[in-house]
Amino acid sequence: MLSLANLDKVYPNGAHALDNVSLNVEAGEIVALVGGSGCGKTTLLRLVSGLEAPTQGTVSVDGEVISGPHAAVGFVFQEPRLLPWLSVAENIGFGLEHLPASERRDLVEEALLKVGLAGYGSRWPRELSGGQAQRVSIVRALVTRPKVLLMDEPFSALDALTRATLQDHLLALWEASQPTLLLVTHDVEEAAALADRAVVMQPRPGRVFADIPIPLPRPRDRLSPGFVEAKRAVLAALDGSLSQPVGASTKRDSQAPAGSWW
Amino acid sequence: MSDMQIAQKMTARTPARAASARIGGGFVYGLILPVAAALVYEAAFRAGLVQARLLPPPSRIAETLWKLASTGALTTHVVATLLRVGLGFGLGAVAGVMLGALTGSSTLARRLLDPTLQALRAIPSLAWVPLFILWLGIFEPSKIALIAVGCFFPVYLGVMGAIANVDRKIVEVGRAFRLSRLKLARRILLPAILPDTIVALRSGLGLGFMFVVAAEIMGASEGLGYLLVDGQQLGKPDQILAAILCFAVLGKAADWLILVATRPLLSWQDSFARSG
Ligand SMILES: Nc1ncnc2c1ncn2[C@@H]1O[C@H](COP(=O)(O)OP(=O)(O)OP(=O)(O)O)[C@@H](O)[C@H]1O
Ligand SMILES: [Mg+2]
């Protein structure tokens, strides 16, 4: 289980990015983090990944506190961030250097096959389309079999059609090892298509605004009433989070006068 | 796969045909202008349109070159010059890469060393010559020291800048995969700075040729620079031009060697120059 306990993050420049965020994610659960720009979603992921240290609070995976980049946690960045001097296959095998070459090759081949890029192993990253590059970056994080996979708006730079295809790819990949998945998105449809739960955040300072379960069976039919209803619920919460008088600490005690936010 | 194997694979993957076409094709284009100019001048000379006392025609320069070559003198001069450039460039480049890597990767080292090195850089390299001669004598060591100093700064600056410019996002990938400092340097920083480092080495080598001329003009008994001075003192413009021609060919060839030797390491690059 992934747990975030009372996370606070104040950047050196004084930006208060997160304020007392607590969240528990069951093993194998898919959670979508949704929220307006600047509400601390990226910050939250970076704290969980150990790339950034919290000002206060702890992150733990199965009881083990995360204090730096950890083998149990994989990260997929918003941009593919492939290493341009390595071939596609070498990029995927980047985190597998400790394995013998033959084992590594097999894992990489299998990964390429799974994301529909069989035969692309010897290409350079510059020879890939944006969607292909992002698929490579997803399997690069997944081949090491992390318990927790963090994804920061991984599909935001892609067109709607490619995005839907990659969401299906992602679910198929997730199916194989079922890691805990924490996915930042600003796309309500993406949250409804992938997540077991959507956590809506609120800005200045970043807090959890609402936690919305999406108990739909998979594969999900994007036209079914349940799906449409889930999207509507997330969207409503998102609207609420943005129209909240900023500065009120939670929606329960939003008694502060509306004009006092600044 | 180790990075060595990667380098080999890169070589294997570069289509040899495309590479040779690029080199060969460029070569032919590059020759058009100088050859045409030489032919025009030669024709003008034959037609009696120009006085050839100060600017001898290509045929006479070729003749001088041939004479120098057949007595073996040319080889002696060329070897002397190349040895000086090679040694000076080697010393300067190694020092430049090492200090550039140090100041580029450590803030403390940069704060300590860079101001001093920048101040030294502001001194025209030729200003060191009297001191080098006092310290090292008038023979080879002082010449090589001058060339090394000349080569050092562009390499130092290039490597330091290359490290400072490595994309933070790419370094973060290394951190996310929990690379140690050493592995981060080997697997991320080194390949990332390679292109800029090669550019720095090329400009360093260019300066090496510049300073070898200075060193040889100031006093040498062999070398292409000596041919220049000798030609001036004895009034042989054809010899001066022959030496200049040798510099052009050697400088270009040395640069081309660096380019060809490193091209396999850079075949991954996605840049404007490659797409042409
Ligand atoms: N490195 C940093 N240094 C200082 N402040 C930062 C830094 N990174 C983020 N912030 C601030 O922290 C807050 C949260 O930023 P964060 O990047 O986590 O938002 P986000 O929810 O990911 O936004 P978006 O949807 O636009 O990506 C913002 O106010 C931002 O200005
Ligand atoms: Mg973000």
> Tell me, what CATH number does A116's domain have?
3.40.50.300
What pLDDT is attached to residue A255? 40
User: ipTM of the predicted structure?
Assistant: 0.83
Ligand 1 atom at shortest distance from the alpha carbon of A35: 21
Q: How much is the pLDDT for A59?
A: 92
Q: Mean pLDDT by 10-residue block, N- to C-terminus, for chain A (262 residues)?
A: 90 90 92 91 93 91 88 91 93 91 90 88 90 91 92 88 87 89 92 92 88 88 89 89 61 39 36
Q: Kindly report, residue by residue over B53-68, the tens digit of the pLDDT.
A: 778 888 888 998 999 8
User: Nearest 5°: CA angle at A144, between A141 and A145?
Assistant: 95
Q: Is B173 on the interface with A (CB under 8 A)?
A: yes
CB A83 to CB B188 under 8 A?
yes
Residue A80 burial by CB count (10 A; 0-12/13-18/19+): exposed, middle or buried?
buried
Confidence at residue B13, expressed as pLDDT on a 0 to 100 scale = 44
Q: Is A241 in the pocket of ligand 1 (CB under 6 A)?
A: no
pLDDT value, residue A141: 92
Residue A81: its pLDDT value, please?
A: 94
Would residue A43 count as lying in a domain?
yes
How many domains does the structure of chain A reveal? 1
**Whether residue B5 has pLDDT greater than 80:** no
Residue A90 to residue B1, Cβ atoms within 8 A: yes
- Shortest CA distance from A143: residue in chain B: B177
Residue B22 has pLDDT above 70, yes or no: no
The vertex-B12 CA angle with A99 and B185, nearest 5°, equals 50
Nearest CA to ligand 1 atom 23: A38
Is the residue at A189 inside a domain?
Answer: yes
User: What does the pLDDT read at residue A262?
Assistant: 36
Q: What is the DSSP string of B32-95?
A: HHHHHHHHHHHHHHHTT-S--SSS--HHHHHHHHHHHHHTTHHHHHHHHHHHHHHHHHHHHHHH
pLDDT at residue B56, rounded to an integer: 86
pLDDT digits (tens, 9 = 90+) for B132-173: 888 988 888 889 999 999 999 999 999 999 998 899 999 999
Domain assignment present for A73: yes
Domain presence at residue A132: yes
The pLDDT of residue B28: 83
pLDDT at B9 > cutoff 50: no
What share of chain B in percent tops pLDDT 90?
42
Contact at CB, A101 and B1, closer than 8 angstroms: yes
Q: Cβ(A11) to ligand 1 under 6 A?
A: yes
**Confidence band for B23, pLDDT divided at 50, 70 and 90:** low
> By a Cβ cutoff of 8 Å, what residues of chain A touch chain B?
49, 51, 68-71, 74-75, 77, 79, 81, 83-87, 90, 93-95, 101, 104, 122, 124-126
> Average pLDDT, stretch B17-29?
58
Min Cα separation B254/chain A (Å): 26
Split at pLDDT 50, 70, 90, the class of B24 is low
Which amino acid is residue B148, in one-letter code?
A
Is the CB–ligand 1 distance for residue A207 below 6 Å? no
Predicted pLDDT of residue A216: 87
Contact by Cβ (8 Å): A32, A199: yes
Alpha carbon distances (Å) from A45 to A74, A123, A144: 11, 30, 19
Report CA dihedral (B2, B7, B12, B17) to the nearest 10 degrees.
Answer: 170
Residue A79 lies in a domain: yes
pLDDT score of B204? 93
Is A152 part of a structural domain of the chain?
Answer: yes
Of the residues A45, A78, A85, the best mutation for testing chain B's interface (the one with the most B CB atoms within 10 Å of its CB) is: A85
Q: Which residue range is the domain that position A141 belongs to?
A: 2-241
pLDDT, residue A90, reads: 92
Cβ of A40 less than 6 Å from ligand 1: yes
The verdict on the CB of residue A38 being under 6 Å from ligand 1 is yes
CA distance A140 to chain B (A): 10
